[in-house]
Structure 1
Amino acid sequence: MNVSKRILVTAALLAVSAVALSGCTKKNDAAATSESGSSAVTVAFVPKLQGIPFFEAMNAGGAEAAKDLGFTWLYQGPTTADAAAQADIVRSFIQQKVSAIIVAPNDPDSLTPVLNEAAAAGIKVLTADTDAADSDREVFVSQASAEGIGEALTDQLMKATGGKGSYAIVSCGETASNLNSWIEVQKSYTASKYPDAKITDVVYAGEDQAKAASMATDLMNANPDLTGLVGECTTSAPGVAQAVKDAGKIGKVFTTGVGTPKSMLPYLQDGSSSASVLWDVENLGYLSAWAGQQLAEGNALQDSNDVKSDLTGVTFDPSTKVLLMGDPLILTADNAGDYSY
């Protein structure tokens, strides 16, 4: 091969290599958008569903913790509320040998084997938002107690309805242990404290706001005497409020739910929702990430933990391994606008 031909071949090979490297860079850049920090500790968070305001706010809080405290934060969840897809993401983080994995399981029972697999691989395993109590997780980061949330949802609705009437619950995943625990509290608390009120139905819309609205509409049509609706999660809370608004029943059918501030603000302002029961979601993400780092670095959680200036006195129960953030937050038309998520 003469010199000129060698030059042409070499140039062609360099061009191909440049294209290949460019493709790899773009792929890695996309993955890196969810990372922050530079220490040897890597904490990964796998939400129930990526892209909805609640878990995006948790991600923002986790990223803030990583920036403040100096560790790497990874965030990836399924695009639909799919336990199998969630398990696949956990397995990918096991293969990456992250230091800690935080999971909000869609189906605790089906996620337990892969959480145990992570623990067996030497990864610190935590759950947040929703627990998988039968797994080998070391800590459950709980936003508030089941009693606190269930009772607050009931009290806020009964405040609007005068402590009487019939109401239905539009929940999300049938296997979501946190939602189911709140519903059990609502059932017992309604029966004991509000004898003139009753729960007529509990239905499940998945993580689908439009489906929640449709199911709420069907409930109102099937029961003209219905006085209340509870949206048990951050997609069904705005869904039931939208259904009441569309039906022209504001002031006749009252709603409460577990909704994020920005999604609920219009409904709180027009009266289609009376209140939303939540907590500081970004702080929940921050606390989860902080706990992941603590475990990864071999630090024991204390009975009371001061995490940052607005996250103090966080209690840890070593018998249940529950890290409890605190009391729920009641969102109304007056304060929902104070939050950015």
Structure 2
Amino acid sequence: MRKRIRYGVTAAALAGVMLAASACGGTTRGDGDGSGSGSGGSEAEADPNAEIPEGLKISFLPKQLNNPYFTVADSGGKEAVEELGGEFKEVGPSEANASSQVSYINTLSQQGSDVIVTAANDPNAVCGALNQARQAGSVVVTFDSDASPECRDLFISQASAEGIATIQVEMIAEQIGGEGEIAFLSATPNATNQNAWLKLMEEELKKDEYSGIEVVDTVYGNDDDQKSFNEMQGLLQTHPDLAGVISPTTVGLAAAARYLGSSDYKGEVALTGLGTPNQMREYVKDGTVEEFALWKPSDLGYLAAYAGASQSAGRITGEKGQTFKAGRLGEYEIGADGEIVLGPPTVFNKDNIDDFDF
């Protein structure tokens, strides 16, 4: 098995390197001038020494509740809010539909949330509600999946979109020996981050080194366990020569592994993508999945809470080049369009998966 080197760098340096490329959701982001467009506004001046007041109401609105990935991500947000002496709230829909978050945004705004942290199911469907919340005084931070930049103040990106796409292509190519048919099992058709990764993976696969690989299908499980399970089953039945599947969504990857592990295709069809160690551990240990990747979701939520609190307090205004300290994660720098990059993904396999618990 190939050995990958993982290394640590300062958050600020990492952000500077990664933000030279477009990050997650970059396919919907305009070129702009790099300044933030949030309620703090570029007209206000940041005061890096401003105190973050206790009692800030910081609310998390994931794509859907009871999604294991967002349960972990929001737990990191809760940790940060408690450190800041604020009030944490988590609300959200049961299904990841395009407009299912709108009513929750409206309610949080009416309840006086100082910061609303959300992962957008659709980059545009939430825009009207988010802008109304900003006009009412809320700082809006998107994380994991971006809204259109004019609808929020800051976006917390998991890693560079190029980095996420590249590592998934590398993993599937290695596992299928560089040739064969592959397919994508994505989340929702309108998910900003998913679409960015799919596009970049397709571009990566055009390189000469991947000339033996052909993408034959893309299906959507809508971040629903049973639908993702059914879509994986359908892929294998529709494409009998399928060599591998990439599922860049934690729900989809786990559901696909559950089907694959109990089918005659186990050991014959490679499966990789983005997942959490706790969801994927049994499938790695039983040989259904060789390796997969992800960042630490709790750190994503933690960073989002600190960024939102920093803007609400006036420490930052969302302008490119500003820096702020995010608790135990250290210092971060804001990039173009109010974007902040968490860091590089980690590859998990049977050699290291027991070192992680999330």
Specify if TM > 0.5.
yes
Q: TM-score, normalised on structure 1? A: 0.85
Give CA deviations for 1:162-194 in whole Å, capped at 9, x if unaligned: 111111001110000100000001101011141
Q: Where is the helix percentage greater, Structure 1 or Structure 2?
A: 1
Greater CA deviation, 231-240 or 79-88? 79-88
Q: Give 1 or 2 for the bigger CA radius of gyration.
A: 1
Does 2:221 match 1:224?
no
1:335–1:312 Cα change, 3 Å: farther
Instruction: Give the AA of the match of 2:78.
Output: A
Does 2:327 match 1:312?
no
Greater CA deviation, 220-229 or 328-337? 328-337
Which of 293, 299, 308 is the matching residue for 1:283? 299
Residue 43 of structure 2 aligns with which residue?
none
> Matched residue of 1:108: which SS?
coil
* C-alpha contact (below 8 Å) 1:234/1:259 kept by paired residues: yes
Greater CA deviation, 262-271 or 210-219? 210-219
* C-alpha contact (below 8 Å) 1:45/1:102 kept by paired residues: yes
Residue 111 of structure 1 aligns with which residue?
126
Residue 86 of structure 2 aligns with which residue?
71
Q: Which runs of 5+ in 1 are unaligned?
A: 1-37
Number of aligned residue pairs: 303
Q: How much has 1:131 moved relative to structure 2?
A: 0.5
Does 2:322 match 1:322?
no
Q: TM-score, normalised on structure 2? A: 0.81
> Matched residue of 1:326: which SS?
coil
Indicate the percent of aligned positions where both proteins have the same amino acid. 30
> Matched residue of 2:205: which SS?
helix
Q: How much has 1:304 moved relative to structure 2?
A: 5.0
* C-alpha contact (below 8 Å) 1:71/1:293 kept by paired residues: no
* C-alpha contact (below 8 Å) 1:303/1:315 kept by paired residues: yes
Residue 174 of structure 1 aligns with which residue?
189
Residue 235 of structure 1 aligns with which residue?
251
List 4+ stretches of structure 1 deviating above 3 A.
301-306, 312-315
Instruction: Give the AA of the match of 1:88.
Output: S
Does 2:357 match 1:337?
no
* C-alpha contact (below 8 Å) 1:153/1:277 kept by paired residues: yes
Residue 19 of structure 1 aligns with which residue?
none
> Matched residue of 1:83: which SS?
coil
Q: Which runs of 5+ in 2 are unaligned?
A: 1-52
Q: For 1:79 and 1:284, how far apart are their aligned partners in 2?
A: 21
Q: How much has 1:251 moved relative to structure 2?
A: 2.2
Q: For 1:295 and 1:103, how far apart are their aligned partners in 2?
A: 15
Q: How much has 1:269 moved relative to structure 2?
A: 1.1
Which of 32, 53, 74 is the matching residue for 1:59? 74
Equivalent runs, 1:203-222 vs 2, <5 Å: 203-222=219-238
Q: For 2:139 and 2:121, how far apart are their aligned partners in 1?
A: 19
Equivalent runs, 1:82-121 vs 2, <5 Å: 82-121=97-136
Which of 143, 157, 160 is the matching residue for 1:145? 160
- Higher-RCO chain (CA-CA 8 Å, sequence separation at least 6): 2
Q: How much has 1:238 moved relative to structure 2?
A: 1.0
Which of 116, 129, 132 is the matching residue for 2:147? 132
Does 2:267 match 1:251?
yes
> Matched residue of 2:241: which SS?
coil
1:208–1:148 Cα change, 3 Å: same
* C-alpha contact (below 8 Å) 1:157/1:274 kept by paired residues: no
* C-alpha contact (below 8 Å) 2:315/2:324 kept by paired residues: no
Q: How much has 1:340 moved relative to structure 2?
A: 2.6
